[in-house]
């Protein structure tokens, strides 16, 4: 039972930037406040919304595989339209679909670059890099 689940409606990027400028590193949980209760929100959705709100140049989504697989190999770079075609063709499937859609949403919200990778890819600068065009 996930209890109450929700979506990010807004992020106080100004508050986060103020904390960062003061040398404080905010630690964020994917719990969001609603009118009368708290909601569990997908952590990737929170990360993408926060990245957009603070004007981040890049957001990285960590998963259990090194990136988006195409024909069994990590696709190093994808543009938004290519990613949508791969979803429609069934090449991107299962749990990777919401992760890719969240990456595309972050691009649409103004984050210039999004990466999907695992810890190994993080160390080696691997994974799949998404750009809008």
CATH number of the domain that residue 118 is part of = 3.40.1160.10
> Phi, psi (5° rounding) for residue 85?
-65, -40
Q: Is residue 76 part of a domain?
A: yes
DSSP SS3 for 89: coil
Q: Assess whether pLDDT exceeds 70 at residue 102.
A: yes
Closest CA to 103 of 75, 70, 73, 62: 62
**pLDDT tens track for 68-83:** 999 999 999 999 999 9
**What pTM value is reported for the model?**
0.85
Share of the chain above pLDDT 70, in %: 98
**pLDDT tens track for 86-100:** 999 999 999 999 999
Q: Is residue 8 part of a domain?
A: no
Range of the domain at 111: 13-131
How many domains, the chain?
Answer: 1
């Amino acid at each position: 039972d996930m209890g109450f689940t929700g979506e990010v409606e807004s992020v106080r990027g100004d508050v986060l930037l103020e904390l960062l400028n003061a040398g404080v590193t905010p630690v964020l949980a994917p719990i969001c406040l609603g009118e009368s209760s708290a909601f569990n929100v997908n952590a990737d959705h929170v990360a993408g919304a926060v990245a957009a709100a603070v004007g981040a140049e890049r957001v990285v989504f960590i998963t259990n595989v090194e990136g988006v697989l195409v024909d069994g190999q990590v696709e190093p770079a994808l543009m938004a339209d290519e990613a949508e075609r791969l979803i429609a063709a069934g090449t991107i499937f299962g749990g990777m679909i919401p992760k890719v859609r969240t990456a595309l949403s972050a691009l649409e919200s103004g984050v210039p670059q999004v990466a999907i990778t695992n810890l190994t890819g993080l160390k080696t600068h691997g994974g799949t890099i998404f750009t809008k065009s």
